[in-house]
Chain A
Amino acid sequence: MPTLVNYGGEDQFFGGGSLCTSSIDLDRLYSMGSSMDMYCPPHKRARVCGSYAVSSYEYEGEHLSSIEELPDECLFEIFKWLPGGRERSSCACVSKHWLFLLSNMRRTDLSGEVDKSAKEDKETMTSSSGDTEMVSCDVSGRLEGDGHLTRCLEGKKATDVRLAAVAVGTNGRGGLGKLSIRGTSSTRAVTNIGISAIARGCPSLRALSLWNLSSIGDDGLVEIAKECCLLEKLDLSHCAFVSNKGLIAIAENCRDLISLNIESCPKIGNEGLEAIGRCCPRLQSISIKDCPLVGDHGVASLVSSSSSVLSKIKLQGLNITDFSLAVIGHFGLAVTSLVLGGLRSASEKGFWVMGKAQGLKKVSSLTIASCHGITDVSLGAIGRGFTNLKQMCLRKCLFVSDAGLITFSRVASSLENLQVEGLDRISLGGVIGVISNCEMKLKSLSIANCMGIKDLLEGSPVLSSCPSLRSLSIQNCPGFGSASLAMVGKWCPHLEHVDLTGLCGITDAGLSPLVENSEAGLVKVNLRNCLNITDEAVSTLVRLHGGTLELLNLDGCRKVTDASLVAIADNCLLLNDLDMSKCGITDSGVSLLSSAGHLSLQVLSLAGCSMVSNKSMPFLKKLGGSLIGLNLQHCRSISGGVVELLAESLWRCDILS
């Protein structure tokens, strides 16, 4: 039986796997023959054979009162009686005119099977709710499935024709549950027509996501609102012509809306948000980004009306002021996750009030980025007011100094995870202060891109040990050197995850206190781009922590050689992720690694190791028994042929080259 297996590799089908089974009996189509070639080779071009072309042209000459001359309303009446999805899909293939006519038919317009069953079992009909939407078009009488299918249309597939085909394909069948359309900035092929077709054909739509579609407008959304009342998630990004009108329609008709996400929609403003707040009591998650017309009124009415269940709020790049922050502070009783970014018009007072208002007691995760209103004072108020705060992330809030950070870490009594990035005013003192003052609860500390940190110059300040810290990550802070690391390492005995990416200043001497003091056993160690680390440090590390080490990343550590691999092979029992990119290792190192029988590596990277050559192939093959990922990019001494051979024998492994 012919199959459509090779077609449509780009499509995402819910069930996965191959497209077609032998039970498809599009016999008519295939009886046309082998002449009408539906097999699509991987090049994805249909080849319609010449003989078919000729026969259809035989009719061209005669003047026919053909079916195509019937007006739309008559065609509509005819299509109503088409008994099934297959016939409708086939008719949709006739012309775009028919396709769009069919796609505009709602399930309730189809009378095919409904009428027949009405005559046959009147009792069933009267005993049901009488709502025609509930009656199946399927002869067996089973109720429609409710939206299991997911479709994602991107790039060239994002067209009205495709949307209409989806609508026709699902109509009467089980319904599309989730639809994503990803246009490009030049996509004009999706318009309100396509969206309306989806609206009518897929009333069980639950999640709709529209990105970069500048040719759809309010009319499309209004249709969706009218027909898809079960809509739960709406995601609009870069839809330049969608305005408040569309959003209000959605609000008024889709009362079950749970999640709303709006990004860069310049015409959406306060009225739309106010309608959402008023009409959607089940809203749990709201995210608004870069919408210049959104202001205090919209945000405040949204937050204060659906206060009972709104749990996730994300507001980025908006012109909201202290007033909105105050409202959030008072009314955000159910909020668990709050993200505020780029709020240029909000000042210190707003954040201070938000902390003081005592309403945000359930917030466990807070992220604040690029807000100049975050100062030491407001940060302190937030630390005190957000009593349940477990995870805090501060990015590029340039007015935060050491004192503010230390106070915060002291008063935020539930804090377990602190991430700071780009706080250039923080110095080493701040880091020390956080670690000492963390009230025994801090489990994870991450500091990245803080240019103000300078290395410890003298002495060793007294720190109280921080036994709760499990994960320490200091990335790309060029001033953080060996002395600082040594000191920090001495006071954090229970570290399990260490990430020192980009700390090119640290040496073996700086790393050793940390490694030696760790009582719990290090599990993940990332020394990416720590250029000065040598074999000695690595050997000490694996000797002491081989029993627990699972991930070791030495990407860019040029001074590391085969000696480290010897140590790893000897000591590491649990290692499953090893990255030796750009290290000075050779074939003998790889062979030693492969001979370590107890090791079962899952991910191995040898990218940029120019001394690893084709001779390593048998060793890599041996390692490949357990590997699922192998990176051999930029390995100049390994030839393409060898990589292919490896790929063939290690079929389970994903090889990058």
Chain B
Amino acid sequence: MASSRKITLRSSDGESFEVEEAVAVESQTIKHMIEDDCADNAIPLPNVTSKILAKVIEYCKKHVDASKAEDRVNDEDLKAWDAAFIKVDQVDQATLFDLILAANYLNIKSLLDLTCQTVADMIKGNLFPVRNEWLNFTFSIANRELVLVCLTEWVAHRRLFCS
């Protein structure tokens, strides 16, 4: 808020991104690096590609702006933006998983929650997909024993609460 210091983030493929400090510290990892005074030059992020870093920055920017706005952006609007951001047409699953990895590495809780919840919803919607363009679960037949065991246990417990 006070200082609009610019921080430079360098992705794994060498591209540099300049962002405001407020945006950068959405990431706890970066925040700690700044506090430890490692941020004089660019902060290298060897685990994040430029494509993903761009998306992450877009997300953080939006969330920082949303909390800063004079008339606070409606929670609903922000949620809608998040949904659009993560919407599966635009984000292919490889990107989605990379976003998860990045959010985990950069320790951005809200992004991590958003992406993980999305995947969880996708799992919920498609348990044993045959042809699924977004998810590629490989269920080997060797797991049929597991299937029997797990579903039996679930059925047994559900039976009690069925009525």
Contact = CB atoms under 8 A, between A and B. Distances in A.
B29 interface: no
Contacts of A152: none
Contacts of A173: 157-158, 161
B157 A78 contact: no
A73 interface: yes
Interface string A1-22: 0001001100101110001110
B160 A148 contact: yes
Interface stretch (B11-19, B66-74, B92-100): B92-100
B135 interface: yes
B8 interface: no
Contacts of B147: 46, 93
A149 B154 CA distance: 12
A633 to B, nearest CB: 36
Contacts of B143: 93-95
Interface in B123-159: 123-124, 126-128, 130-131, 135-141, 143-159
A412 interface: no
A48 B141 contact: yes
Contacts, number: 178
A322 B154 CA distance: 53
B104 interface: yes
A174 interface: yes
Contacts of A77: 100, 104, 112-113, 116
Contacts of B52: none
Nearest to A28: B127
A93 B120 contact: no
B151 A69 contact: no
A99 interface: yes
A79 B101 CA distance: 15
B162 interface: yes
Interface in A57-101: 59-60, 62, 64-71, 73-74, 77-83, 85-87, 89-96, 99
A69 B162 CA distance: 36
Contact of B154 (A65, A74, A80, A89): A89
Nearest to B151: A89
B88 interface: no
B117 interface: yes
Given A4-B152, A69-B97, A166-B153, A87 B124 contact: yes
B119 interface: yes
Contact of B127 (A90, A95, A168): A90
Interface string A367-395: 00000000000000000000000000000
A70 B97 CA distance: 7
A78 B160 contact: no
Given A65-B93, A87-B127, A56 B153 contact: no
A445 to B, nearest CB: 48
A20 B155 contact: yes
Contacts of A74: 100-101, 104, 116
A40 interface: yes
A94 B159 contact: no
Contacts of A56: 130, 138-141
Interface in A1-53: 4, 7-8, 11, 13-15, 19-21, 23-24, 26, 28-29, 32, 36, 38, 40, 46, 48, 52-53
A137 interface: no
Contacts of B137: 66-67, 94
Interface of B: 93-94, 97-98, 100-101, 104, 112-113, 116-117, 119-121, 123-124, 126-128, 130-131, 135-141, 143-162
> Shortest 5 CB-CB distances between A and B: which pairs?
A169-B153, A81-B120, A89-B154, A28-B127, A81-B117
Given A32-B130, A77-B112, A93-B139, 13 more contacts: A11-B152, A13-B159, A28-B126, A48-B141, A55-B130, A56-B140, A79-B120, A83-B120, A87-B124, A91-B123, A92-B146, A92-B150, A94-B139
